[in-house]
Amino acid sequence: MHVSSSSARLTPCQTKALDVLHRQGNVFLTGAAGTGKSFLLDRYLAGKSSAEFPVVASTGAAAVIVGGRTFHSFFGLGILEGGAKMAVARAVKNRRVIHRLLRACCVVIDEISMLSGETLAAAEAVSRIARGSDAPWGGLRIIAVGDFAQLPPIASYQQAKDWAFRHPVWQESAFQPALLSTVMRTQDRDFLEILNFVREGIVNDRVHDFLHARITPSADAADATRLYPHRLQAEQYNLLRLNASPKKLHTFPTTFIGNERYLDSAKRSVPIPETLLLKEGALIMMRKNDVTGAMRYVNGSLGHIQSIGAETLTVALLTGETIEVSKEAFSSLDGDGNEVMAAWNFPVTLAWATTIHKAQGASLDRLIVDLHSLWEPGQAYVAMSRVRSGDGLMVERWHRSSIRAEPLVTAFYDALADQAKKYQPRPLFTPPVRDREEERVRTVKTMKPTRLQRMESIARMMKEQVSLRNMAEKCGIKPQRVVLYIEKILESGEWTSDPAYLSEIIPDRHKIIAAFEEHGFEYLQPVFNAFSGAVSYDDLRIVRLAMRTECDTVPASPRPVTREELLWMD
């Protein structure tokens, strides 16, 4: 759902859960679909440093939605090549992994239900070794977020699901439950009760009558999204409906900008296709929340394309509002939280069909679902809980066997509810105070000589006002790497250098400055979006650096130069 409105009123269960989040110890933030887990998490993380409170997600797609990075990349586990022990051994040799685990004071793990116990235990072992402590997670605080009644972890070469809560590492982590029970996605009380039955795998007379009453034989004519268990089924149905329209076909290739080595993972993670096919009249789904903050639409809002231009779409939402949609970027981050790839296109997809997996996190206005041949516990619940109300749900067919809950999950939540009743407030959690100057001096002094020499060389060439291209040629690295070195030179304070001359030759420099003043200086992406990708990240970085040296009111980066970041530059 991912609503971020700091003024929104909290429900009683959200108020209690927020108190749990502010206390010491590890936390498991959970609740049924639509109870506001993402909203509450946004509330807790507001104003906190992403380096000290990183958000990681179990899958690449989930990471894009929450604006975080993947669990595997953050903890340096890769795809666990060679098994968990070998993955841990590799991770603890990675200085960048060590650095970010030492820097973090609390890690938020989103979609915890899709992580296996083995994977969670591997990350815990890496944390203990990296932080030099035998305490669980090496003393690092963990906030796990998710709902085990939804989609389970994928089982590889084994029969039983390796639920994270069944592994000893879960008990050792001593998670305090923060339970959300009030569903925010729908105010339809009857539908809410049906969803709770389905979540528990119960098919009683009420569930039977509810589903039978919503069987819709002529569902193809409805303005609603079909959910399929397989991606190919969804793609084929979308193309079938698109081809049936006599309107002109418009093709918009997605532009991928950034490091080529992340291209394949970015294509799998972003919620938009490599090539977006649209026609006037097509049913589409918004794949981002309203960037204006007006909340006219959210991820999952449906509408029809009214008109199509090269840079804008006019969409008539099913809510009755008409909006203009421009191209936006979907970002992929590496383990350090740096943007390594951005996918640039309209934030929409064809919405006659999508998969149950891709619908996770979306709030659909109208939904058509086939509940006849589902095989995973929780699939029916995830599918039905995507829609805002029972009035928006149409059932193509259904079978009692598709509505299943995992008995182990049910027993786990029963125990969790009992634990929550015995809640005793712990002391407030206070992030440790770090000596930034000591960190900066230590990291600068311990850099390898070759990198110190390169920084000294670039600092000297900046005094001589050497061009960016010539600096890159003399150092034998790419220009974008030189820009990163310049950032670290200025952050370290060890050299007196002024990048203003580099920014003066950049076209539209004054427009870029105005964009930074409008959107803020902390993140490059909003300014990059404002120019629709026409200005490179390198140019944006240089202008921002020049602004920081020219104006004392512009906040400098809080991060000291680190060996790990310099290793990445080479």
Q: Does residue 294 share a domain with residue 314?
A: yes
Q: Does residue 149 share a domain with residue 11?
A: yes
The DSSP 8-state label assigned to residue 280 in this structure reads T
How many beta carbons lie within 10 A of that of residue 427, not counting itself? 8
Mean pLDDT by 10 residues, the chain (570 residues): 49 92 96 83 89 84 66 86 86 89 93 90 95 93 92 61 90 94 74 89 94 81 80 91 95 86 74 92 87 74 92 91 89 72 89 81 81 81 87 90 89 92 88 62 48 82 87 82 82 73 85 85 79 82 80 40 37
Mapping DSSP onto H, E and C, the string for 181-201 reads: CCCCCCCCHHHHHHHHHHHCC
CATH number at 76 reads 3.40.50.300
Q: Which residues contact 396 (CB under 8 A, 6 or more apart)?
A: 215, 216, 219, 226, 368, 369, 370, 371, 372
| Calpha distance 271→360 (Å, rounded) | 11
Q: Does residue 440 share a domain with residue 355?
A: no
- pLDDT of 315 reads 94
The values of phi and psi at residue 265, to 5°, are: -70, -35
Q: Does residue 12 share a domain with residue 108?
A: yes
CATH number at 523 reads 1.10.10
| Calpha distance 446→429 (Å, rounded) | 32
Q: Does residue 158 share a domain with residue 10?
A: yes
8 Å CB contact between 355 and 551: no
| Calpha distance 348→350 (Å, rounded) | 7
Question: What angle in degrees, to the nearest 10, is found between the helix axes of 479-492 and 449-463?
Answer: 90
- Asked which of 365, 392, 409 is the last residue of a domain, the reply is 365
Q: Which residues contact 430 (CB under 8 A, 6 or more apart)?
A: none
- Asked which of 318, 342, 365 is the last residue of a domain, the reply is 365
The values of phi and psi at residue 73, to 5°, are: -70, -40
Q: Does residue 189 share a domain with residue 243?
A: no
- Considering only CA atoms, which of 296, 313, 317 is closest in space to residue 366? 317
State how many domains the chain has: 3
Q: Does residue 241 share a domain with residue 171?
A: no
| Calpha distance 352→222 (Å, rounded) | 9
SS3 257: strand
Q: Does residue 200 share a domain with residue 131?
A: yes
- Asked which of 429, 454, 478 is the last residue of a domain, the reply is 429
Q: Does residue 288 share a domain with residue 175?
A: no
Beta bridge partners of 277: 251
Sheet holding 141-145, edge to edge: 69-70, 55-57, 106-110, 141-145, 27-31, 176-180
Domain containing 491: what range? 436-569
The values of phi and psi at residue 402, to 5°, are: -80, -15
Q: Does residue 202 share a domain with residue 66?
A: yes
8 Å CB contact between 450 and 419: no
Alpha helices (runs of H) in 30-175, residue ranges in sequence order: 37-45, 60-66, 71-74, 84-91, 95-103, 117-131, 168-173
Q: Does residue 24 share a domain with residue 104?
A: yes
- Considering only CA atoms, which of 343, 363, 364 is closest in space to residue 271? 343
Q: Does residue 255 share a domain with residue 176?
A: no
